[in-house]
Amino acid sequence: MRHRLTINHTEVEGIITIALCGRLDIESVPEAREYLEKLIEEKPGSGIILDLAELEYISSFGLSLLIGVLKETRRAGGELVLARVRQFVDQVIDIANLKPILKSYDSLAEAGQALKSKDGS
């Protein structure tokens, strides 16, 4: 059985942490895009951490979404980083040569610190 994507978010001190759980593929990308774009629109200029600890699978459609969300976040004056990326997802990002673009951190604390330092806080 395929696991659907679930998305949850929290906001602490101006940093939004979005947990993606399940599969980010052709079936789930439209819903994820709508959720993420709405959040970016409502909170322009925010630092965003995508917590991928429970993301089991990512397709090329999912990678495209990550790049699009990064661009939208930056256009809105914010920044986006990844945290707790699983090995399979990390390998897909690496194979697509996106590691220089999609900054990744081992923990949520490290990701939050990186966003705060970019903000000058």
Q: Is residue 94 part of a domain?
A: yes
Q: Is residue 121 part of a domain?
A: no
Q: Which domain holds residue 30?
A: 6-116
Give me the pLDDT at residue 1, please.
44
Among 120, 119, 54, residue whose Cα is nearest residue 88: 54
- CATH number of the CATH domain containing 61: 3.30.750.24
pLDDT over 80 (residue 120): no
Q: Is residue 1 part of a domain?
A: no
pLDDT over 80 (residue 92): yes
Number of domains in the chain: 1
Span 46-84, pLDDT tens digits: 999 999 999 999 999 999 999 999 999 999 999 999 999
Are 56 and 62 contacting, i.e. CB atoms less than 8 angstroms apart?
A: no
Span 3-54, pLDDT tens digits: 689 999 999 988 999 999 999 999 999 999 999 999 999 999 999 999 999 9
